A and B are shown apart, each in its own frame.
Chain A
Amino acid sequence: MTTQIALLIFIVVGGTFGEMCVTRAMKIIGEVKDFTPRGLLRTGRRAFKIGWMWLGFFLMALSYFALLGMLARADVSFVIPVTSLGYVVGAIGGRWFLGEDVSYHRWIGVLLVCFGVYLIFVGRS
Chain B
Amino acid sequence: MGVAGHLRLKTYALIALLILFGPFGDLLMSKGMRGIAIPASLRIGAIAHYVYLVFTSPLVWCGTFCMIGFFVCYISVLSWADYSYVQPATALTYGAVALLGKYILGDKITFLHWMGILVVCVGVAFIGYTSPATAEPPFSPPPLGEGPLR
Binding site for B on A (CB under 8 A): 16, 19-20, 22-24, 26-32, 35, 40, 43, 47, 50-52, 55, 84, 86-87, 90-91, 93-95, 97-103, 105-106, 108-125
Contacts and interface: CB of A to CB of B under 8 A. Distances in A.
Contacts of B84: 90-91, 93-95, 98, 100, 102, 106, 110
Nearest to B113: A123
Is chain B's binding surface mostly helix, strand, loop or mixed? helix
A93 B149 CA distance: 17
B36 interface: no
Contacts of B79: 26-27, 29-32, 43
Interface of B: 72, 75-76, 78-80, 82-85, 87-88, 91, 94, 98, 107-131, 134-135, 137-139, 141-142, 147-150
Contacts, number: 166
A3 B129 CA distance: 40
Contact of B150 (A19, A51, A105, A114): A51
Nearest to A92: B84
B116 A87 contact: no
Given A87-B88, A94-B84, A110-B84, A51 B147 contact: yes
Nearest to B84: A94
Given A27-B79, A47-B75, A100-B134, A125 B110 contact: yes
B149 to A, nearest CB: 4
A98 B82 contact: yes
B84 to A, nearest CB: 3
